[in-house]
Structure 1
């Protein structure tokens, strides 16, 4: 156990002005308060707060934080009171101890309401003073270091809690070294076999590589020195958990991982960072897509460094991180690096000798803004549902044009953002601007993006959105809106069907009479009845009988087909599809056509409406980079009573009567020829571009089969629109 004078010496080594008397008093008070209490290991309980304080001295934290670490359990676990702490140690330390005392254990198997409230308390306490967070993380780190003394069931719960909450939170606050250790211990407790396998693989790589780390370090140092750059180069292997997570994320086997080694290059200034980068890129081949400049564009947690990957010495793929010493301090200790030097608003302030106010680092501002956003939850259940530990998973943090912070899971897009702001905004979203530029709604958002949602009250969210969003809130809202929209569409279609049947009796739709008819059929409302007709669940004949029109007969389909075509003279919509607002104009793409029975999609063309394409259309390739224009459609074949266009490519033998054979076959098959054009003619054959109007895909296949049987017709294929 660390002795009293050793702890004081640690603090004064980096803070000569530390209050030694106060530290001595806190040490003695905590030791006496915990008395004969023991931990699961059998050690005196006081060893725990003492080790927590020791961890914080490694971060070079101020004397008040060290004292709070010594005292952090006395109010909760002993007879000590906050009033007594304030009287003996002052208001600053008592407030830190109070903040830590209020944070109960985040039990992942507790009731949801209690869990939500505990999570909220943790965030609120941390947002008031970042030092509360630092002590809490140090407390968790020492508990994890002694986890092997805990019973197995409790050990698994604590490890999962650490991996889900505390380790990601340390990462959010920029404390990379602490996050790595927390993750590794939790990984060992939860997945011992996986960790053992990775460790054995790393051992074999060490044996195969020999002194490769040392050799690469020396080579890098020499290359930089030859170019006038004095640098400290250090290499290391990736941690087992980091390797495992990458294997899970990218579905790789252990043998497929090539970038096991990483090297850190510490130089004197920001300018030399870029010089060192130039040396590395000149000396070795760069791996494409692996360069990131976090100096000019820092991460949300103040992290600054240049990342690149090269095929380095010995043809090994190595990752390089290039930074200054001050950047390295921030990278390793995060918000803890700000607590003593107070260079919190600007990570480069220490290099320039600038002192700035405490508690205003980017990560701390993020925490405060996040708390303000989460505090808007109406009740603990909603709060937990919207933040359920995704808060500490990999996330991106974006902004509205007015500066409001929106936290989203990594991979989220502008649709998720719109729903996170408000459900109505998501439902009416038709486009977006990201950082001032128009972008597709499916664009993956990055940290710091400013997203401006473009809305239209005529919009309803397409059902296909449910498959591309990443948040539960967005998915639930889209499902709800889709159900409402689909119901309305089916009801509208059902009314068209009923009115068409009524017209045969020179009658018109009367809601009151229709409601009475629905009651006879056991249906509660007119809307329910119309929707049932539209879905095909209720036959129009039964509706007509309930309305008192006995003997209602279907008009022969052939007569209907002859009387109507896909584009009516009146201009009314006659393309029976589901999954789209019927108020939007629909047209079928002329390069291929489309007929009922084929899988179709719609492309939204602003100002023109929606163009319907069969899924095999080559024309769809031009919209690959604009996924927000795509609409998932389906034919409503029950109400398809028109003829629909299909474009064919026909090769005829260059003989007398061939063209007549073609047109006669189409006519005999009950189809119409909408367009016919000769595209190429040679000595033995000529090509015909033919658009026929048919009832559905079965009708089209019958026509094509009959054509191919004719002796003067060589081939018949469906046009894909590739020309």
Structure 2
């Protein structure tokens, strides 16, 4: 444990005019206040505030901040009071300690609005003095360094809170070194397998690249020196969490990263930054698109530097950050670099230079809180990366896959390869067979089970969370729908040629594609299936002498032997006339149902149920609509016989399912009449999908009810029961 004189010496190194008596008094007071208290590690509790103070001396902070660090747990964990601290150390230090006590009571690990509200409280607690935040960040850093002594059930919570709140906040304040250490410590706790995997790869890379890195440092230093630029060149290695995040953002593997190692070129002035840049760009070719000038346009957290990447010695890609010493200090310490220890007794505004963007952001944010904006609006304004939506999983061979939180094995499959996603039929998570809709967690090992017979269902698009998976599913769905339309179109074309008494020949049809303005037979068939090209035009393209005659058939006349097989999700399998009734079901064409890309609908006003004779009407761009044969709406299609498809029911009696119908009920306008209607329908096994009161008078109410029934007999039974009720004036089925 650091002794009293050692702490004073640490401060004196950067602040020769430090108030030694104040530091001594705080040291003794805190040590006595914590007395015999011990930490989970068994160390004296006082060692914690002492280490927090030591972290702040590395940031070269003023005496008041160091004293506040020594005392930050006294009000919360000892008999000390605000009044007593104010008596011994003054109002300013007492206010700092009280602000830290308020922060300690906040629960920052909760989600969404609650977390946003607690973050508001956190920032309000530092409204009077930003040094409260600096002490809290140092406090959290030491707690994370000693996390192994915390009870296991609490570690992940603390690490998640650190990753969600404190690390982004340190970054927003420009304290990049502290942010990176907080992220790494959290990453190691939350995803130990991924963390260790990155470390192992870094160790391997060091062994193979050590000599090269040293050679690059020497050559860079010599090249700058020869042009009169005195510079300190330091190689640096990305931290494991930074590497992991880059892999996730870029969707690349470890081996594909080109900036794991980089070099900082530190010079004396802004002018020398640009002089060094000129030397580097003159000596080595620049990698296009890899140049950023944060000196002329600093980041919002005051970060200033020139970033460039060149093809350097040994044809190695070398990432460079060129900055002055002052810029480097701000890049390392952020807002803390603006704290002027020379005037440690003043208020916070005096401790921060007026050109601090990070401090300005903090003040603007606090002003927003004073205006009473909602937690959600506040959270959006801060843009703090509060919710790191990251899940790190492994393939069975150890490849790391980074995904957003709430990702599923479907997302994982597409992240591995589009072909794997398209053919996925199942998954094993940590060796256990699991549904494809399972939510993945950090460290999961995922094995995808595939089948070449599989195509991705359109419903997957609403399940996945990654853009790559959504785009791939949409592509695969469009391809499947195009194939379905093409298969349907080919059957329709064959039937049309047969009706016209003409021979159907794909070879001749292929030669006539130019006249039909289609590049391939598949596109032609798909256009026919979608109703975009009339079969008459296809026949005439091969047989120009042929003239179509209007058929005498009307709605109700038989049009062939085709049928639809209606499944639970209302998807259809269609067979075209010419195929025998006992033909192999595998030759049927699967057509996606009401929620798919190729919609198959029932008549919008009235529906259709088994027992009805039904007709399918093909509509360009809309798919197929199934009408009962008695529907008056069919009169609208009498002049377009090529759009008519003869269909019939094929119901699996072992798997009963309901179908839509509409009924019109006129009921007495009295209490309980609607309840009686619902009771009859429910007792009969029907289901009310929608209800609309289309007109209402003093005596009667007219209702249009969408019901779902098993078949025509079921519907007629419901109608008969309804007619027996005294409150019912009339009830009829609606056919529009």
Give the TM-score taking structure 2 as reference length: 0.53
Aligned to 2:625: none
Higher alpha-carbon deviation: 205-214 or 82-91: 205-214
Q: How do 1:560-571 and structure 2 match up within 5 A?
A: none
Matches within 5 A, 1:399-410: none
Q: Contact conserved, 2:213 with 2:235, CA < 8 A, in 1?
A: yes
Corresponding residue for residue 158 of structure 1: 158
Q: Using the TM superposition, give the Cα deviation of residue 697 of structure 1 relative to its aligned residue in structure 2, in angstroms.
A: 5.3
Do 2:368 and 2:378's aligned partners in 1 also have CA atoms closer than 8 Å? no
Q: Distance in 2 between matches of 1:85 and 1:112?
A: 36
- Residues 112 and 384, structure 1, Cα contact 8 Å, conserved in 2: no
Shift of the 155–337 alpha-carbon distance from structure 1 to 2, 3 Å rule, reads: same
In structure 2, the residue corresponding to 1:286 is in which secondary structure?
A: coil
Quote the residue 2:81 is aligned against: 81
Q: 1:711 to 1:39 in 2, by over 3 A?
A: same
SS of residue in 2 equivalent to 1:335: helix
State the distance in 1 between where 2:534 and 2:185 align.
Answer: 64
The offset of 1:359, in angstroms, is: 6.5
Question: Displacement of 1:43 after TM fit?
Answer: 0.5
Q: Is the CA contact 1:8–1:20 (under 8 Å) kept in the aligned structure 2? A: yes
What secondary structure sits across from 1:235 in the alignment?
strand
Q: 1:365 is matched with which residue: 360, 367, 372?
A: 360
Residue equivalent to 1:256: 256
Partner of 2:538: 705
Matches within 5 A, 1:548-697: none
The residue aligned with 2:57 is: 57
Residue in 1 that maps onto 2:37: 37
Are the aligned partners of 1:330 and 1:337 in contact in 2 as well (CA < 8 Å)? yes
Deviations 1:683-713 (A, max 9, x none): xx9x9999xxx99951534354134223699
Deviations 1:571-617 (A, max 9, x none): xxxxxxxxxxxxxxxxxxxxxxxxxxxx9xxxxxxxxxxxxxxxx9x
| In 2, Cα distance between equivalents of 1:121 and 1:210 | 48
Distance 2:355 2:138 in 1: 21
Query: CA 1:123/1:356 → structure 2, altered by over 3 Å: closer, same or farther?
Result: closer
Q: Separation in 2 of the partners of 1:301 and 1:211?
A: 35
Q: 1:104·1:118 contact (CA, 8 Å) conserved in 2?
A: no
Residues 457-506 of structure 1 deviation map (CA, whole Å, 9 limit, x = unaligned): xxxxxxxxxx9xx9xxxxxxxxxxxxxxxxxxxxxxxxxxxxxxxxxxxx
Provide the residue aligned with 1:506 in structure 2.
none
Q: Hey, what does 1:123 align to over in structure 2?
A: 123
State which structure, 1 or 2, has the greater radius of gyration over its C-alpha atoms: 2
Partner deviation per Cα, 1:310-367 (whole Å, 9 max, x = no partner): 1211222121000000000000000011002689xxxxxxxxxxx9965761101101
Contact 2:15–2:341 at 8 Å: present in 1 too?
Answer: no
- The match for 1:92 is 92
Partners of 1:129 and 1:229 lie apart in 2 by: 41
Deviation at 1:104, TM superposition (A): 2.5
Question: What is the alpha-carbon distance in structure 1 between the residues aligned to residue 387 and residue 369 of structure 2?
Answer: 16
What's 2:697 paired with? none
Q: Name segments (4+ residues, structure 1) moved above 6 Å.
A: 111-114, 687-690
Kindly provide the CA deviation profile for residues 260-290 of structure 1, in whole angstroms up to 9, marking residues without a partner as x.
1110001111111111111111221211111
Aligned to 1:233: 233
CA shift, 1:210, in A, is: 3.3
Number of aligned residue pairs:
422
Aligned equivalents of 2:111, 2:203: Cα separation in 1: 43
Are the structure 2 counterparts of residues 699 and 284 from structure 1 closer, same or farther at C-alpha, using a change threshold of 3 Å? closer
Q: Cα–Cα, structure 1 residues 87 and 202, in superposed 2: closer, same or farther, change >3 Å?
A: same
8 Å CA contact 1:141–1:182 kept in 2: the answer is: yes
Partner SS state of residue 263, structure 2: strand
- SS of alignment partner, residue 103 of structure 1: helix
Query: 1:234 offset after TM fit, Å?
Result: 0.3
Which residue is equivalent to 2:294? 294
Cα separation, partners in 2 of 1:158 and 1:35, compared to 1, 3 Å: same
CA apart distance, 1:127: 3.2
Q: Residue 9 of structure 1 aligns to a residue in which SS? A: helix
CA shift in 2, pair 1:376/1:712, >3 Å: farther
Deviation at 1:128, TM superposition (A): 2.4
Matches of 1:173 and 1:219, distance apart in 2? 35
SS in 2 for 1:321: strand
Structure 1 residues 304 and 101 mapped into 2: Cα distance closer, same or farther (>3 Å)?
same
Q: Is the 8 A contact 1:342 1:358 kept in 2?
A: no
d(CA) in 1 for partners of 2:545, 2:266: 79
Could you say if the C-alpha distance between residues 363 and 277 of structure 1 is closer, same or farther in structure 2, counting changes exceeding 3 Å?
same
Q: What is the CA-CA distance between 1:101 and the residue it aligns to?
A: 1.2
Residue 105 to residue 285, structure 1, CA distance change in 2 (3 Å): farther
Structure 1 length-normalised TM: 0.54
Displacement of 1:251 = 1.1
Displacement of 1:61 in angstroms is 0.4
Q: Which blocks of at least 5 consecutive residues in structure 1 are unaligned?
A: 344-354, 396-466, 471-598, 600-615, 617-664, 669-684, 714-723
Alpha-carbon deviations, 1:358-390, whole Å to 9, x = none? Answer: 57611011012123234545666x568767995
Contact 2:168 2:384 in 1 (8 A): no
In the alignment, structure 2 segments of 5+ residues that lack a partner are 344-349, 390-461, 466-477, 483-496, 501-511, 518-526, 547-736
- Range 357-366 or range 293-302, more displaced: 357-366
Classify 1:699/1:203 alpha carbon distance in 2 versus 1 (closer, same or farther; 3 Å).
closer
User: CA separation of 1:712/1:272 partners in 2, compared to 1, >3 Å: closer, same or farther?
Assistant: farther
Q: Secondary structure at the match of 1:262?
A: strand
SS in 2 for 1:52: helix
2 CA distance for matches of 1:385 and 1:307?
30
CA distance in structure 1 between the aligned counterparts of 2:111 and 2:278, rounded to whole angstroms: 55
Partner of 2:222: 222
**Partners in 2 of 1:148 and 1:58 — Cα distance?**
24
Once the two structures are superposed, residues 421-441 of structure 1 have per-residue CA deviations (whole angstroms, 9 ceiling, x without a partner) of: xxxxxxxxxxxxxxxxxxxxx
Match of 1:324 in 2: 324
Distance in 1 (alpha carbons) for counterparts of 2:78 and 2:354: 31
CA RMSD of aligned residues (A): 3.7
SS in 2 for 1:210: helix
For the 8 Å contact 1:342–1:356, the answer to whether it is kept is: no
Residue 296 of structure 2 aligns to a residue whose secondary structure is: coil
Q: What is residue 337 of structure 1 aligned with on the other side?
A: 337
The Cα of 1:37 is off from its aligned counterpart by: 0.7
Could you give the per-residue CA deviations for residues 602-659 of structure 1, whole angstroms, max 9, x where no partner exists? Answer: xxxxxxxxxxxxxx9xxxxxxxxxxxxxxxxxxxxxxxxxxxxxxxxxxxxxxxxxxx
Q: Counterparts of 1:390 and 1:334 in 2: how far apart (Å)?
A: 16
Q: 2: CA distance between counterparts of 1:384 and 1:325?
A: 35
Shift of 1:392: 3.7
Matched residues in 1 for 2:164 and 2:111: separation? Answer: 17
Q: What is the CA-CA distance between 1:98 and the residue it aligns to? A: 1.4
Contact 2:163–2:388 (8 Å) recurs in 1: no
DSSP 3-state at the match of 2:322: strand
